[in-house]
Copies of this chain bind each other. A is one copy, B any other.
Amino acid sequence: MTVTEETTTSGPGYKWVGTRPIRPDGLDKVTGKARFGADLALPGMLEGAVLRSPHAHARIVSIDTRAAAAMPGVKAIVTGADFPDPAELGGRPDEEMVAANIIARDKVLYEGHVVAAVAATSRKQAQRAAAAIEVEYQPLEHVLTVDEAMADDAPLLHPDLKTRGMDPAPEEPSNIASRISHERGDLDKGFAEADLVVERTFTTKPVHQGYIEPHAAVADAGENGRATIWCSSQGHFAMRTMTATVLGWEPSKLKVIPAEIGGGFGGKTVIYLEPLAVALSAKSGRPVRLVMDRDEVFRASGPTSGTKIRVKVGVTNDGQLTAAEAWMAYEAGAYPGSPVGAGGMTILAPYDIPNFSVEGFDVVVNKPKVAAYRAPGAPMAAFALESVLDELAAGIGMDPVELRLRNAAVEGTQASYGPKFPRIGFVETLEAIRDHDHYRAPLGPNQGRGVASGFWFNAGMNSSATVHVNEDGTMTVVVGTPDIGGSRASMGLMAAEEMGIDVAKIQSIVADTETVGFNDVTGGSRVTLATGAAVVEACRSIKADLRARAAKTWDCDIEEVEWVDGQAQHAGGGETPLSLQALARKSGRTGGPISATASLNARGVGAAFSTQVCDVEVDPETGEVTILRFTTAQDAGTAIHPSYVEGQMQGGVVQGIGWALNEEYIHDRDGRMENPGFLDYRIPVASDLPMIDTVVVEVPNPAHPYGVRGVGEVGIVPPLAAVANAIAAATGCRLVDLPMSPPRVLAAITGKADG
């Protein structure tokens, strides 16, 4: 997918920020030199295989590994008994859940749940041995949806699980892990003021992030109680913490080296293979590599929740939203932790609605534990709300963008989830779409246009960066947040802007857990903001140091030295300026090497908004939906490297389109996934889609030195509703169940035709 250059941006006099240098990791990736999780081979390394439950819910009666252990080439086998009891980790419940999800003990809770793992001299042999492990199961009844799980007589996954967030606290266990709620104003009064109220119930299916690179981990455990892990993840420090928890080790006994990552989208913020690989390596005394195949990725890593959401919204005839009510239930998979919390916080966030009530439930089901997926919890919520808004606009005869503009949150609006918004750019994204050619382009028969908006918090969290000035005057920027969306490029650009030197003279690298300070994950669209701020702070320390060295050289006060255009200049002009290169060359004589570290927990996160418009054509004979044109406008704050920003916007839209039209987990009656491969679980490919047009709106975040907001996630929030609204416009049918695949669309059209 090439990049549209329609809206190249430039900041207030920036020289490097806002430019589009060639991506630093590009050559290695296109020539195959980049090394991903499975690309490491160590001398003497064993290959592993994982034995997984074929049952959605079953008691493990016994595991007999003797025959497997006796097979040639088998060097180690681990089962749940080789790991600390999760209940005895002394940690928090969520840590226990991570541990329980890694390998089953007494019960398996979903098809794909790990039962044992084997290391052998070849992958084939490890697989044979895994298959030779004899497991006796006692199958149990299972639940697959929130409706099944919330039923009164539902079989329980966790016999001790009682709903949190209820008042009074329930006495009986259930599959509802927690309840969340938000309220404001007087709901009855609000609905009474409305001229039109629409209420609908929506469902969405679990969908997978669909990253191209399966999970992989190589572990090498030493005799000294330490281990090194090489893996592909969104955060090697988080991998270290979680793996240590599951193993019962101190985190610092583990060194995690980040591989290149072939996509994560939230799904690589959690561990699956790492503790198994360490345990197998410790037991065998050899390095061990574990690699999932696609089938395992689907069955045993975390997709996002299937959901059921009921939304009721009222509006006056002049377009004032008066009240909104939402009831939301999200599948958590086998352990608590669906993103219903974020769903409940985001569903009304773009709008200023005086009266509302939101209630949400986190519900365990016999499916893989869900993981984060790009703006976790928000797309399905927006699907519901933005579909209803579309109907309301149509119902009162108002342009749907205009309806949103009338009710849009602005600076000072108290967000539905609590705080007051600082300067945000939601209105600007609405205006960008309203004023775009696309919004006025003619449509043909069976074609329709839909719009929708979306909100995402973005995150801050902990980042640490170190910056070194090399002897040749070039610089190395060392960060600890894996580069998924171009952060090596954006860090280089911010450092270049700060230092006043050519970005080609700056090398950004992602260091392991021992050679850079602690960093939270690359997630929450936080890295350009938070790691960027750390890099800028480190560069400012470097500049202060350089000015001090120039002052020493010139025998003057540091206040007389300015840093301008990559060189130290004497304010009085009495000295020949000293370039970074010159100062680097003589650093040994002015105090030694030039390096600085900066760490922070980022404050002043800027929220992201996106508004999108989509044209579809619906084949009335097959129900197939073709995306004709798609334009997305998003507030990026400042686009540090616009090509990457556009890429993020496009990627979010494309994933949202896949979610809207095709992607879904299909289970048989026994709770087994029927489509665990990219042939049957169909993500959009380039030939399915037009170019996604991008409008980068820039409303700088005042709390960041370069105005950065996160850009990675919000793009996936509006497409589900935008596509549904376009289909409604094209067909007159309101689809409320995802995916809107040809059979469903055809059924809707036919139903309408029939009716």
Q: What residues make up the interface of A, taking CB atoms closer than 8 Å to B?
A: 24, 27-28, 31, 33, 39, 41, 43, 220, 222-224, 237, 241, 244, 250-252, 461-464, 466, 468-472, 474, 476, 478, 505, 507, 509, 511-512, 514-519, 534, 587-589, 591-597, 599-602
Contacts and interface: CB of A to CB of B under 8 A. Distances in A.
A39 B595 CA distance: 31
B599 A595 contact: yes
A462 B593 contact: yes
A672 to B, nearest CB: 36
Given A28-B222, A461-B588, A596 B593 contact: no
B474 A252 contact: yes
B223 A592 contact: no
A685 to B, nearest CB: 27
A735 B143 CA distance: 94
Nearest to A24: B224
Contacts of A33: 220, 222-223
A470 B253 CA distance: 11
Contacts of A602: 592
13 contacts: A237-B471, A251-B470, A463-B593, A466-B466, A471-B518, A511-B511, A516-B595, A518-B594, A519-B593, A592-B599, A592-B600, A593-B599, A594-B599
A528 to B, nearest CB: 16
A624 B516 CA distance: 56
Nearest to A596: B597
Contacts of A469: 518
A223 B478 contact: no
A27 B222 contact: yes
B223 A464 contact: no
A275 to B, nearest CB: 17
A31 B241 contact: no
Contacts of A596: 597
A463 B592 CA distance: 7
Interface centre among A517, A587, A599 (most CB of B within 10 A): A517
Given A511-B514, A594-B599, 12 more contacts: A24-B224, A27-B223, A251-B470, A252-B470, A252-B474, A464-B468, A471-B518, A515-B516, A516-B595, A589-B601, A592-B601, A595-B597
Given A222-B27, A593-B517, A599-B592, A251 B471 contact: yes
Oligomer copy total: 2
Interface centre among A252, A512, A596 (most CB of B within 10 A): A252
Contacts of A478: 514-515
A470 B518 contact: yes
Contact of A595 (B461, B464, B507): B464
Given A250-B474, A251-B471, A587-B462, A28 B224 contact: yes
Interface of A is mostly: mixed
A471 B239 CA distance: 13
Nearest to A545: B599
A512 to B, nearest CB: 8
A466 B478 CA distance: 12
B518 A593 contact: yes
Contact of A591 (B476, B594, B599): B599
A237 B584 CA distance: 14
A462 B507 CA distance: 22
A666 B601 CA distance: 65
Contacts of A224: 24, 27-28
A261 to B, nearest CB: 19
Nearest to A244: B472
A588 B602 CA distance: 9
**Top 4 A-B pairs, shortest CB-CB distance:** A517-B595, A515-B515, A518-B593, A252-B474
Contacts of A252: 470, 472, 474, 476, 505, 507
Given A41-B41, A593-B519, A223 B31 contact: yes
A224 B488 CA distance: 15
A517 to B, nearest CB: 3
B597 A476 contact: no
A587 B517 CA distance: 12
B514 A509 contact: yes
A683 to B, nearest CB: 29
Contacts of A462: 587-588, 592-593
A24 B252 CA distance: 14
Given A250-B472, A507-B252, A514-B476, A466 B595 contact: yes
Contacts of A220: 33
Interface centre among A27, A41, A241, A514 (most CB of B within 10 A): A514
Nearest to A519: B593
A101 to B, nearest CB: 21
Nearest to A507: B252
A565 B488 CA distance: 40
Contacts of A588: 461-462, 601
A373 to B, nearest CB: 24
